[in-house]
């Protein structure tokens, strides 16, 4: 099932998710592997793959 923009999360939960994505971007800049990012941030490898692709295409704004 797909959710509307925001994924059904509260504003606080959305902020927390964005903080995690920004932490991932910092780790990408340091050359950390997808597996290590996923393990450290306790997210799925698939999420990290999507985030890295967006980061490569548009930096932290992507």
Report pLDDT digits (tens) over 13-44.
Answer: 999 999 999 999 999 999 999 999 999 999 99
Given a cut of 70, whether residue 6 has pLDDT beyond it is no
Of residues 60 and 33, more confidently modeled = 33
The neighbour count for residue 36, using CB atoms within 10 Å, is: 13
DSSP designation for 8: T
Average pLDDT over every residue of 4-12: 77
pLDDT confidence band for 1 (50 / 70 / 90): very low
**What confidence score (pLDDT) does residue 9 get?**
83
Number of H helices and E strands in the chain, helices first, is 3, 0
Average pLDDT over every residue of 40-62: 89
Angle at 18 between CA 8 and CA 5, to 5 degrees: 30
């Amino acid at each position: 099932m797909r959710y509307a923009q925001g994924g059904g999360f509260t504003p606080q939960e959305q902020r927390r998710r964005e903080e995690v994505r920004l932490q991932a971007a910092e780790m990408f800049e340091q050359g950390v592997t997808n597996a290590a990012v996923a393990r450290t941030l306790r997210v799925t490898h698939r999420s990290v793959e999507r985030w890295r692709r967006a980061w490569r295409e548009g930096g932290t704004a992507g």
